Amino acid sequence: MKNIYFVLLLIPFFTSAQVVDEIIQIDTTFETLKVVYKPEITSSYYFKKVAVFADDTSKIAIEKSYTNYGQNGVYKVYYPNGRLKIKTVFANNKIYGEWTYYDENGLIIIKGLYRDGTKHGFWAYKSLMIYGRYKNGYKNKRWKRIDESENKYISHYKMGELKSGEGFGDEIPFYLSTPRKADVNRDTNQLLSNIRDTISIEKEYEQAISFITKNVMFRKSLKKHFGSSIRKSLGVKKAFDKNERFKFILSPEIKALKITKFFKESEEGLILVASIDTVLKEKATDLKQLFSGETIKKDKNLFNNSTDKESLMVITFSEVKMNLLRLDIDWTFKEEKSKFRILLYFDNNDVLKGAEYEKP
C-alpha cells in the first residue's frame, strides 16, 4: 500500500510541472530541449538541478551543479537513449577546462579546452579531422586538416586571422579580405585589379568574385561537388585556367536566392561558420522573406565582369541581406544541369569574413 501511495505522489509533479525550453550550446551551434526540472537536491553549500525529457520523464536530459556563487561543477547533457552527449565543468558560471561532445554511440565528435568561458588550448574536431589551438577564443598558429585519403593540409593563424593555407571553410585568408595596394600588380591579384579597372560593381560582389576565383577551399569544394564521376571531374577541370583560377559567366539577373538548404544544415549542426549559423538561427523569419526566390533586378555590369563569357559555369548573385550573400553556380555538362549553393558572410564593415558551402 505504501508503494502505491508513493507513485501517486510522483504523478502530480510530472503532470503539473512546467515544461522549460533549455538552450544547449554545442560548440558554435545551439539546440533547444524541452525538459522538466525535478525538485532541487540541496545541501548547506551545494545544490544540484536535474531535468528530464518532457516527452519521457523517466529519462534524464540535463544535470547541473551549483553553489552559492553560481553554476559550479560538472555539467552533463544526455541523449534520449541515455548516453552522454556533452560533458564539461563550470567555474563561477563559466566553462572552465575540458569540454567534450559525443555522438549517440558514445564516440567523441569534438573535444577541447575552455578558460573562463573562452576557447583556449588544443581542440580536436574529430569527425571533421581538424586539429589546432585556440588562444583567448581565436584560432592561433598551426592548424591541421586530414582528408579521407589521409592527406594533410596545414593552415597558419595569428589571433583568428588566416595568414596562410586554405582554412577550413569558415575563414577568408587575410590577404583576400584586406587587399593591399602593393599587391595589385602581382600576378595572383591581377584579376582583382582588372575588375576594378572595368565597370564598377558593388564591393561585396567584387570581393565575392575575387574569392571564388582564387580561394583554394572553394576550388576543392566545387570540384568535389560537381565531380561525381571521372568524366565530370575532367569536365570541371576545364573551368580553371593554368593558374587554377576559376572561369565563369556572371548572370545579369540578381535573385533573392532561397536559403532553405542552409536552414536545414543549421538545424542538423552542419554549419561551420559561427557567424553564419547565428544569423540563420536568430533571423530565420526575416531571412525567409528576404531570400524568397524571385528575380530582384538586372545589372549588366555584373555580366561585363565575367572572367570567361564562354564558360559553362554560370554564377547568380543575390543581394546582400542581413550580412549574407547567396550564390548559385549552375553547370551544364553534356546537357545535364547541376547546381552548387554558397552562402557568404560580410561583417558590419562590408568585409568578406566567411563562406559556407552546401553539403552533399
Is residue 271, in this structure, part of any structural domain at all? yes
Question: At 11, which CATH number?
Answer: 2.40.128
- 123 in the same domain as 176: no
Domain boundary among 108, 127, 146: 127
Residue at 138 is within a domain: no
Query: How many CB atoms are located within 10 Å of the residue 101 CB?
Result: 21
Can you tell me whether residue 209 is helix, strand or coil? helix
The answer to whether residues 197 and 119 belong to one domain is no
Are 114 and 175 members of one domain? no
Same domain, 116 and 207: no
Local confidence pLDDT in tens for the 360 residues of the chain = 444 443 434 444 444 578 999 989 888 778 889 999 998 877 767 889 999 999 999 999 999 999 988 999 999 999 999 999 999 999 999 999 999 999 999 999 999 999 999 999 999 998 888 999 999 999 999 999 887 777 788 888 988 888 877 777 656 655 455 444 434 344 434 444 443 444 467 888 988 988 888 888 888 889 999 988 899 989 998 898 887 889 999 999 999 999 999 999 999 888 988 889 999 999 999 999 999 999 998 888 888 888 888 899 999 999 999 999 999 999 998 888 999 999 999 988 888 888 999 988
Q: Both 94 and 12 in a single domain?
A: yes
My answer on whether 53 and 179 are in the same domain is no
- List helix spans (H) across 96-158: none
Same-domain pairing of 5 and 97: yes
The answer as to whether 157 is a domain residue is no
230 found inside a domain: yes
Q: What is the pLDDT of residue 161?
A: 83
Say yes or no: 227 and 350 in one domain: yes
Task: Tell me: do 336 and 191 sit in the same domain.
Answer: yes
CA pair distance 358, 329, nearest whole angstrom: 11
Do 210 and 114 belong to one domain? Answer: no
* Residue 360 is assigned to a structural domain of this protein: yes
Q: Which domain holds residue 44?
A: 1-127
Which DSSP letter does residue 149 get?
Answer: T
Where among 94, 109, 127 does a domain terminate? 127
Domain membership of residue 147 (yes or no) is: no
Going 214 to 220 to 224 to 227, the CA torsion angle's sign is positive
| Residue 121 is assigned to a structural domain of this protein | yes
Provide the domain count of the chain.
Answer: 2
State whether residue 25 is helix, strand or coil: strand
Helix spans in the chain (H): 2-16, 174-177, 190-197, 203-214, 216-226, 230-237, 260-267, 274-282, 284-290, 300-304
* CA distances for 266 relative to 103, 130, 201, 256, 284, angstroms: 17, 20, 31, 19, 11
- pLDDT for residue 173: 56
Task: Please tell me whether residues 98 and 182 are part of one structural domain.
Answer: no
Question: For the chain, how far is it from start to end, CA to CA, in angstroms?
Answer: 59
End-of-domain residue from the set 107, 127, 147? 127
Cβ contact 191:245 at 8 Å: yes
The residue among 240, 248, 243, 250 whose CA lies nearest residue 189 is 243
* 104 burial type by CB count under 10 A (0-12 exposed, 13-18 middle, 19+ buried): exposed
Task: Note the pLDDT of residue 198.
Answer: 41
Q: How far is it, in rounded angstroms, from Cα 352 to Cα 343?
A: 11
Does residue 146 lie within any of the structural domains? no
DSSP 301: H
pLDDT at 169: 60
178 and 120, same domain (yes or no): no
In degrees and rounded to multiples of 5, residue 85 shows phi and psi of -105, -50
Q: What residues contact residue 140 under an 8 Å CB cut-off, 6+ apart?
A: 132, 133, 134, 157, 158, 159, 160
